[in-house]
Structure 1
Amino acid sequence: MAELPKDSASSRSCAQCGTPVVLAPGQSIGRTEVCDSCGADLHACVQCAHYDESSYNECREPQADRVVDKERSNFCDYFSMSSTGRRAKDGTNKEALKKLDDLFK
């Protein structure tokens, strides 16, 4: 994806590697687009604003069809790229659990 001036674009981050993904106003992510840095599919559940592991089918959009592989590209009409890139890395979760365990020793 081409770099755009900051005032005319919105910046998102790849949920896999955290690399910025710059979108022009009104631009959407195509089904076959991938992250320039890590090659992760960008039109995938883990990249979506509706993705929520605690929700039914791991999606807050109740009308969305079930997608089995959340990291692969899909045809979901409700896809909206997340602005937070909030997917936690495994190491971060383990560190947090260790800190909690240490509190109760």
Structure 2
Amino acid sequence: MSDEIIGHCWSCGQALCIPDYGRETNCIGCGRPTRCCRNCRHFAPGRPQECMEPMVERVLDKTAANFCELFEPSSPTADQAPGVSAPEALRQAAEDLFK
């Protein structure tokens, strides 16, 4: 097994390795499921079904574990805080300009 960090938890930012992305595996930092839409690189709020993949099956709860075959771990960018979506980060940056 590899201990190489391939992603981070969408909720708390905990570093995750390949074994941490099991179907019934939870994050050791916050206890949330790791194999969920919010942890996938295809997750895209605002897109149909909130996914970049057009032929994906619909998943209602994006924070719950699922069986999506297209799942690929994602890591937040270095300047983005865990749990903060890209639109929220952009809005905050714009508001910070006018303080």
Q: 1:61 Cα shift?
A: 1.0
TM-score by length of 1: 0.71
One of 11, 14, 18 as aligned partner of 2:6: 11
Cα separation, 1, equivalents of 2:54 and 2:61: 18
Give CA deviations for 1:34-84 in whole Å, capped at 9, x if unaligned. 100100110110000100002111001111101111011111111111133
Identity of aligned residues (%): 29
Aligned-CA RMSD value: 2.9
Cα distance in 2 between the residues matched to 1:65 and 1:28: 23
Say which one has the larger Rg: 1
1:33 aligned onto 2:29: no
Show the 5 A alignment for 1:24-63: 29-63=21-55
User: What TM-score results when the alignment is normalised by the length of structure 2?
Assistant: 0.74
Runs of 4+ deviating beyond 6 Å: none
| CA positional deviation for 1:93 | 6.7
The corresponding residue for 1:21 is: 16
* Alpha-carbon distance in structure 2 between the residues aligned to 1:93 and 1:35: 27
Q: Count matched residues.
A: 93
The aligned residue for residue 99 of structure 1 is 96
8 A contact 2:20–2:26 mirrored in 1: no
